[in-house]
Amino acid sequence: MTSYDLILRGGACVLPWGVETTDVGVREGRIAALGDLRTAHAANEVDCRGLHVLPGLIDAHVHLRDPGDPAVEDLSHGTRGALLGGLTAVFDMPNTAPSITDRERLDWKRGYLDGRAWVDVGIYVGASMRNIGELASLELQPNVCAVKVFAGSSTGDLLVADDASLEAVMRSGRRRICYHSEDEYRLQERKPQFTSGMPHRNHMVWRDVECAFLGTRRLMALARRTGRPAHILHVSTAEELDHLRDFRDLCTVEVLLNHLTQTDEAYDRLGGYAVMNPPIRDERHMRAAWAAVADGTVDVVGSDHAPHSRAAKERPWPDCAAGLTGVQTIVPLMLDHVSAGRLSLSRLVDLMCAGPARVYGATGKGRLAAGYDADFTIVDMKKQRTIEESWIVSPCGWTPFAGHACTGWPVMAILRGEVAMREDEVIGAPRGQAVRFAEARG
């Protein structure tokens, strides 16, 4: 009799070619068989009847703040939240304190994952005005998912704002570069128009549509001139999405869960807890984001999980910190969008598995297929549950989605063949590893 380490029995499996009710056999941490495994035996079997089996969901945009302030967030808590929220991998941003901008800090971060990460982790390297010449070799270091460029300023001190420096970044190396795209000059020029204590909705007036559009138009002109592939993170305006459709040969697109879920009414309801960069905007942009999900413009949906202390969020605008927690809530909220008919489960898998794997060149991830890592997110589309702040693992302890009722919930997560989360409990020790990328060494 054929034997496996693990068999998932009878789930509705979201395969690259459609949803099929089938068994999945796992051996040595990888998918060994798809099909009818009735006559096969396994040490561990999971009855998945009535559930959907997805490839392990990836959040390609998180800020785990390590090194930083552990009272707000750290890698251990952030990845534990990710796992409880149904993710099996995250890609971690470099704007930590200090930021991850050289070989030594990359090596430190890779080693630091061991015994601390609850899910697999890809590592961004940050571009700064001091490391442009080294980016070509830094992007090839093991487990680097991409170079991240802050072309507009946000949390932390990473910034490469002018065209000449951005072009130099694009000419240093060849992998796809990820951009925070807001025009720094317009941001700084308009800042004096605003004063402390103004209503929070001024965030989207200051960091306006033009600011995002100008940033993206400049980046696309430079990407065209240099031929360097680009990934525009958190695209937040209808205007950028329209523009980017002419650059699909060069550019891939991320939209955030927040921009698909929240509109400007959030400022009145949540105050500083609605402030993020680029900002939450009016409904016209949310509709454009959903249209771009529907027509395939969007490659990746991420959370931009970016914890800050309550004290920092409660300072008056514009002194309050920008950034919202999200790593634990992105999957339930996306499943709720599926339940509401805004996208299919197959499209969700495209945006959170195949999309990240394709855009960043992750190997062994993002696909329910033989030979791939046995990472699974198992979801119950009938389960109804309300997001509660007490559930949030990140030490900062808040979510902008408290009270949001979801239909559809992740009930199990399997990491390289081992059940790592089941019904709201993490199982065993942190077993996360560094994610591998085809174009990086190691």
Q: Is the dihedral of CA 125, 76, 55, 61 positive or negative?
A: negative
Of the two residues 25 and 326, which places its CB atom closer to ligand DOR in the complex?
A: 326
Which three-class secondary structure state does DSSP give residue 5?
A: strand
Of the two residues 323 and 355, which places its CB atom closer to ligand DOR in the complex?
A: 323
Q: Which of 9, 105, 109, 180: binder of ligand DOR (CB under 6 A)?
A: 180
Of the two residues 96 and 172, which places its CB atom closer to ligand DOR in the complex?
A: 96
262 binds ligand DOR (CB under 6 A): no
Residue in 375, 238, 395 with CA at minimum distance from that of residue 328: 395
DSSP letters of 10-77?
EEEEEETTEEEEEEEEEETTEEEEEE--TT-EEEEEEE-TTSEEEEPEEEEEE----SS-TTT--HHH
Angle at 104 between CA 99 and CA 110, to 5 degrees: 80
Q: How many residues bind ligand DOR (CB under 6 A)?
A: 10
Binding characters for ligand DOR, 101-140, by CB under 6 A (x = yes): ----------------------------------------
Q: How far is the CB of 256 from ligand DOR (least distance, A)?
A: 9
Strands 376-386 and 300-302: unpaired
- Of the residues 66, 183, 304, 373, only one is catalytic, namely 304
204 binds ligand DOR (CB under 6 A): no
394 binds ligand DOR (CB under 6 A): no
- Residue 142: asked if its preceding bond is cis (omega within 30°), the reply is no
Q: Which of 87, 276, 280, 359: binder of ligand DOR (CB under 6 A)?
A: 276
Q: Which of 22, 76, 88, 95: binder of ligand DOR (CB under 6 A)?
A: 95
Q: How far is the CB of 239 from ligand DOR (least distance, A)?
A: 19
Q: How far is the CB of 304 from ligand DOR (least distance, A)?
A: 6
Q: How far does CA 351 lie from the centroid of its chain?
A: 10
Q: Which of 154, 181, 303, 328: binder of ligand DOR (CB under 6 A)?
A: 154
Of the two residues 319 and 424, which places its CB atom closer to ligand DOR in the complex?
A: 319
Q: How far is the CB of 215 from ligand DOR (least distance, A)?
A: 12
Of the two residues 156 and 356, which places its CB atom closer to ligand DOR in the complex?
A: 156
Quick check: is 246 catalytic?
no
Contact assessment for residue 263 and residue 269, using Cβ atoms and an 8 Å cutoff: no
Q: How far is the CB of 398 from ligand DOR (least distance, A)?
A: 14
Of the two residues 110 and 234, which places its CB atom closer to ligand DOR in the complex?
A: 234
Q: Scanning residues 9 to 68, which ones bind ligand DOR (CB under 6 A)?
A: 63
Q: DSSP assignment, residue 354?
A: I
Q: How far is the CB of 394 from ligand DOR (least distance, A)?
A: 13
Write b or e for each residue in 329-368: b if 16 or more Cβ atoms lie within 10 A of its Cβ, otherwise e: bbbbbbbbbbeeebbebbbbbbbbbbbbbbbbbbebbbbb
Write b or e for each residue in 382-406: b if 16 or more Cβ atoms lie within 10 A of its Cβ, otherwise e: eeebebeeebbbbbbebbbbbebeb
Q: Which residue is nearest to ligand DOR (CB)?
A: 323
Of the two residues 289 and 322, which places its CB atom closer to ligand DOR in the complex?
A: 322
377 binds ligand DOR (CB under 6 A): no
Q: How far does CA 8 lie from the centroid of its chain?
A: 27
323 binds ligand DOR (CB under 6 A): yes
Q: The tokens 């190396």 sit on which residue? A: 173
322 binds ligand DOR (CB under 6 A): yes
149 binds ligand DOR (CB under 6 A): no
DSSP letters of 306-351?
----HHHHTSPTTTSPP-B--TTTHHHHHHHHHHTTSS-HHHHHII
Q: Is the dihedral of CA 418, 422, 427, 431 positive or negative?
A: positive
Of the two residues 52 and 200, which places its CB atom closer to ligand DOR in the complex?
A: 200
Q: How far is the CB of 306 from ligand DOR (least distance, A)?
A: 4
Task: Provide the token pair at 45.
Answer: 């079997």
Q: Which of 155, 216, 297, 303: binder of ligand DOR (CB under 6 A)?
A: 155
Angle at 62 between CA 337 and CA 384, to 5 degrees: 30
Tell me the catalytic residues: 304
Question: Which residue ranges make up the site for ligand DOR (CB under 6 A)?
Answer: 63, 95, 154-155, 180, 276-277, 306, 322-323
